[in-house]
A and B are shown apart, each in its own frame.
Chain A
Amino acid sequence: MDTKSLTNNTGILFFNSTVPAGFPSPAMDYMEERVDLNKEFIQHPLSTFIVQCEGLSMINAFIPPRARLIVDRSITAKNGDIVLAVLNGEFTVKYFKKNNYKCWLVPANSKFKEIQITEDMDMQIWGVVTHIITDTKDVKCML
């Protein structure tokens, strides 16, 4: 019903929403906020960026082509992290491996070679990959 028509003559406002009568919902006291993926998967929104991959070098780390990665710049990369790195001006995603003397960018696919970082290379960690988002259409299996 239209509220406007009801106010015309009497000046009294009727509400057209339903008024609950009888027993309140038993779930009322148990209501909580719905799960929010942003909150669950993005710890530091200000330093988090999303990138999209193309290529197979990280397939065994469950990063198929077209996967979207959540990258957090505020995290300092540790041995074994998946990182978005900049190697001689090009972006790449690899495992970051290091010991006290050396570090490497390691693919998750035996067809690709691991890269040892030497002095003549320019390598920077852009951010640490915290989550992988894959559309299941991109990993569909032809049965």
Chain B
Amino acid sequence: MGCGHSYYYRHKRRKMYALVDCNNFYVSCERLFNPKLEGRPVIVLSNNDGCAVSRSDEAKALGIEMATPAFMIKDLIEKNNVAVFSSNYTLYGDISDRVMKTLGSFVPRMEIYSIDEAFLDMHDLDYTDLLELGLKIRSTVKQNIGIPVCVGIAPTKTLAKMANRFAKKHRKSIGVHWAANDHLIKEMLCVTEVGDIWGIGRQYALFLKRNGFNTALDLIEAPEEWIRKNITVVGQRLFNELKGISAIPWEFAPPAKKNICTSKSFGKLLSSKEEILEAVCNYAAACALKLRNQNSCCRSVNVFLNTNPHRLQDKQYARSIIVDLETPTNFTGEIIKYATRGFNIIFKEGYRYMKCGVMALDIIPDNQVQYGMFDKCDRPKNKKIMAAMDRVNRSLGKEIVRLSVQGFEKRYRLKTEYLSSHYTTDINQVLKVKI
């Protein structure tokens, strides 16, 4: 029977996943346009120049850990001539898009997992040697976009992630590892500590170590009895993945987001109502734009603000409120109106605030909006106004046209002292070359 054949076929051809991961991605983006940074320790700081979020190998060798606050390593930075950058998400976003689209050209299906990682479906390809394909992917991305990547290939997502890590550590010169058979998988499992397995957090790793499991191999050889007693459903899934049975499904297109959130820490602590309200209005406007870009509307808006919980010397306050909208909308003016209403309720004088944010909730496609019976707003007209505003802003620059409550100075804006240029998205900021 036909189906019998296809069953056999599917099992004969094992599933294969590749995890492609850009090496020190933000640092690599900076180096692409600044080759002098090659060989020099480089770090990129998080929003508001807070912590190191991307480190070159040289910076790692200096002992700079992930998420180290910049002020704590000031001396180290000066002494070792570490190059420091603010995060340039405009640049990283464009380079990421180029990398992802290039990766997509190799396989029929892929899942973008984060700004610098993607799972590729390597199952059912014409290649018999996936190592060769991995090498080709790596060299193409390096040549065409200039970003170094590592590739790990294995029968499950968890093992692909592990193979990627293995490639980084043990196959450095080629940067690719294919765990093609049980022997190669075992080799990988026995050098991977439980804490380095994808999906195992620090607490759980400690628990496993206390129970005598040090490596991934120890874990999959655990006695059945122990597993039944100690492992949850999530744990069971992970367990299967480690054994080579794929248990984490593909997530191809999660794009139409269920929640849209814009929130950032302020450049400095703020107390003035007027200044924070300006930030709220800008975040509300950003949410409205995101909604319009994906042709959705939201039914409610969440506004939140909080003080800095790490400043024990300060009085603490944090509150969040959800405001329901009369009619679902994506108009900047309306979203700002509701966000302001919420803000006025939750704001309290006398605190030093660190952060506020606006979230658009209950998102629906804008063609499914039911207009309210007593809705006074001229929606077709507003829609035209928004479309015109977006067009102007797209062609003349971000936020050229905005509502006056959004202000002009952005006093709350993030610190980005060490920002590089938007080399690929602004014609006035392209790379300048002395020839």
Contacts and interface: CB of A to CB of B under 8 A. Distances in A.
Contacts of B144: 44, 46-47, 73-74
Contact of A55 (B36, B430, B434): B434
B351 interface: no
Contacts of B427: 50, 68
A51 B430 contact: yes
Contacts of B143: 47, 73-74, 76
B431 interface: yes
A43 B433 CA distance: 23
Interface in A91-142: 91-94, 124, 126
Q: Could you say which interface size class chain A belongs to?
A: 20 to 34
Interface string A47-78: 10111111111100001000010000110100
A86 interface: yes
Interface in B421-435: 423-424, 427, 430-435
A34 B143 CA distance: 32
B435 A47 contact: no
Interface string B32-64: 000110100000000000000000000000000
Given A46-B144, A50-B430, A92 B35 contact: no
B35 A89 contact: yes
A90 interface: yes
Interface string B208-234: 000000000000000000000000000
Contacts of A84: 433
Contact of B146 (A51, A73, A91): A73
A111 to B, nearest CB: 13
Contacts of B146: 73, 126
A47 B430 contact: no
A86 B435 CA distance: 11
A44 to B, nearest CB: 7
Contacts of B430: 49-52, 68
A35 B369 CA distance: 39
A108 B433 CA distance: 16
Contacts of A50: 424, 427, 430
A113 to B, nearest CB: 13
A63 B427 CA distance: 18
Contact of A52 (B38, B98, B431): B431
B383 to A, nearest CB: 13
B431 A91 contact: yes
A90 B36 contact: yes
Contact of A57 (B35, B423, B432, B435): B435
A52 B411 CA distance: 33
B433 A47 contact: no
A101 to B, nearest CB: 24
Given A49-B424, A50-B427, A51-B433, A73 B36 contact: no
Contacts of B380: 4
Contacts of A74: 143-144
Nearest to A84: B433
A45 to B, nearest CB: 8
B90 to A, nearest CB: 15
A47 B98 contact: yes
Interface in A4-23: 4
Interface string B388-426: 000000000000000000000000000000000001100
B433 A54 contact: yes
B145 interface: yes
Interface in B143-185: 143-146
A137 B431 CA distance: 21
A47 B423 CA distance: 14
Interface of B: 35-36, 38, 98, 101-102, 143-146, 380, 423-424, 427, 430-435
The 5 closest A-B pairs by CB, nearest first: A47-B144, A89-B36, A55-B435, A51-B431, A93-B435
14 contacts: A47-B143, A47-B144, A47-B145, A49-B423, A49-B430, A52-B430, A53-B433, A53-B434, A73-B144, A89-B36, A89-B38, A90-B434, A93-B433, A126-B146
